[in-house]
């Protein structure tokens, strides 16, 4: 399941939220679902950065409305700015955004589509079951955005480039990564996103990549 982190040592999850009540709900649920993972918490940006420095997390569960420092006022701009640095940074953890207002994420959509790690966003008031489902999606490398952010299935130009390089030029994943100046993990996650967008499930006895190719040709994504 944890295709995102190669190392076999204990996975680290980081939950960043300044609301005690939310942390109380989220942390035990995560701990129960992922008993082998270590769940850390942070209630402001400073602390989150500190935690990330010592334990690079496989997953960050992030609220958008956050204080910069302890006791400073929380604001959505601060969280959004932090999210931007996460997406542009080298660490590329899988991310789940948990917020009462996910609307500001709309401007990050191209960056999210191209992001190396998995990314999911959800409204905070949704049940914990939903959160665990999205954690799994994010850990897998998929992208999930709530309907108000993504009205219909989208194919990012970068994913389409992967398709073309693979099926029209016959390159290996490694070569594609080299051509596009991206990491192997990014290309691997792009495949997962293509698979999600084309609605293809891993079925026994079927070659996944061939399934993708067939569907893509049918849609006219490649000629």
Partner 1 sequence: MPEASSEPAKMAKLRQQAKIWRAGALPGLAAIACVTLARLTGSLQVLEWMAFDRLLQLRPVESADDRILIVGINERDIKQVGEHPIPDRELAELLQTLQSAKPRAIGLDLFRDTSAGSGRAELSQVLKHSSNLIGIEAALNPNNELDVRPPPELPPERVGLADVTIDPDGKLRRSLLASKVDGKTRYSVSLLLAAMYLKVEGIELQHGSRASHPIQFNSVLLPRFRSDTGGYVNAKAGGNQILLNFRARSQPFRIVSLTDVLTGKVPPNLIRDRIVLIGMTATSVNDTFMTSATKGTLVSNVLNDAEQYQLLYGVEYQAHATSQIVSAVLDRRPLIHTWLEGWEYVWIVSWGLLAMALGLMLQSPWKTLSILAASSICLISICYGSMVLGWWIPMVPALMALWAAGLTTSLFDRDSRVLLEQRSLTLKRTYDAVHNGPLQTLAAILRSLDETHGVTPLRWQLESLNRELRSVYESMKQELLSDDNRYVQTLLPALLYQIYEDTLRRDLPGFSSIKICVPPNFNSLANCPLTLEQKQGLCIFLEEALCNVGKHAIEATRLDVVCTRQQDEWSLQIIDNGVSDLSYSNPHTGRGTDRARELAASLRGKFERRPHSPQGVVCELTWRESKSWRQRLSFYFKRLIADGS
220 contacts partner 1 (rule: CB under 8 A)? yes
Stretch that binds partner 1, among 6-14, 34-42, 69-77, 84-92 (CB under 8 A): 69-77
Distances in Å between the Cα of 131 and the Cα atoms of 92, 94, 108 are 20, 14, 21
Number of C-beta neighbours around residue 13 at 10 A? 25
Nearest-approach distance from CB 112 to partner 1, in angstroms: 10
Compute the distance between CA of residue 34 and CA of residue 68 in angstroms, rounded to an integer.
29
Q: Are residues 185 and 118 in contact, defined by beta-carbon separation less than 8 angstroms?
A: no
Q: Are residues 159 and 193 in contact, defined by beta-carbon separation less than 8 angstroms?
A: yes
Query: Which residue in 157, 170, 204, 205 binds partner 1 (CB under 8 A)?
Result: 157
Nearest-approach distance from CB 109 to partner 1, in angstroms: 6
113 contacts partner 1 (rule: CB under 8 A)? yes
Sign of CA dihedral 59, 65, 69, 71: negative
221 contacts partner 1 (rule: CB under 8 A)? yes
- C-beta closer to partner 1: residue 3 or 28: 28
149 contacts partner 1 (rule: CB under 8 A)? yes
Query: Which residue in 27, 41, 55, 155 binds partner 1 (CB under 8 A)?
Result: 155
- By rule CB under 8 A, what string of x and - marks binding of each residue 6-25 to partner 1? ------------xx-xx-xx
Query: Per CB under 8 A, which of residues 184..213 are in contact with partner 1?
Result: none
Compute the distance between CA of residue 184 and CA of residue 176 in angstroms, rounded to an integer.
9
Stretch that binds partner 1, among 70-78, 89-97, 132-140, 204-212 (CB under 8 A): 70-78
Nearest-approach distance from CB 154 to partner 1, in angstroms: 5
First and final C-alpha spacing in the chain: 34
Q: Which of 120, 176, 127 is nearest to 26 (CA)?
A: 127
76 contacts partner 1 (rule: CB under 8 A)? yes
73 contacts partner 1 (rule: CB under 8 A)? yes
Strands 59-62 and 12-16: parallel
3-state secondary structure 14-48: EEECCCHHHHHHHHHHHHHHCCCCEEEEECCHHHH
Q: Are residues 109 and 62 in contact, defined by beta-carbon separation less than 8 angstroms?
A: no
Binding residues for partner 1, rule: CB under 8 A, are 18-19, 21-22, 24-25, 65, 73-76, 100-101, 104, 106-107, 109-111, 113, 123-129, 148-157, 160, 219-221
């Amino acid at each position: 399941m944890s295709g995102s982190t190669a190392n076999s040592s204990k996975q680290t999850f980081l939950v960043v939220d300044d609301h005690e009540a939310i942390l109380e709900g989220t942390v035990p649920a995560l701990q129960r679902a992922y008993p082998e993972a270590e769940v850390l918490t942070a209630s402001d940006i400073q602390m989150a950065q500190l935690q990330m420095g010592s334990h690079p997390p496989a997953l960050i569960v992030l609220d958008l409305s956050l204080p910069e420092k302890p006791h400073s006022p929380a604001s959505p701009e601060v969280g959004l700015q932090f999210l931007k640095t996460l997406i542009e940074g080298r660490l590329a953890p899988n991310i789940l955004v948990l917020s009462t207002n996910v609307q500001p994420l709309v401007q990050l959509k191209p960056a999210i589509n191209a992001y190396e790690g998995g990314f999911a966003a959800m409204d905070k008031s949704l049940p914990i079951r939903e959160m665990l489902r999205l954690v799994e999606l994010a850990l897998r490398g998929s992208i999930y955005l709530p309907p108000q952010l993504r009205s219909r299935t989208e194919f990012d130009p970068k994913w389409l480039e992967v398709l073309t390089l693979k099926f029209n030029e016959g390159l290996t994943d490694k070569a594609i990564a080299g051509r596009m100046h991206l990491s192997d993990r990014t290309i691997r996650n792009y495949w997962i996103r293509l698979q999600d967008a084309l609605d293809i499930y891993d079925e026994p006895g079927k070659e996944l990549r061939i399934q993708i190719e067939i569907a893509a040709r049918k849609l006219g994504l490649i000629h």
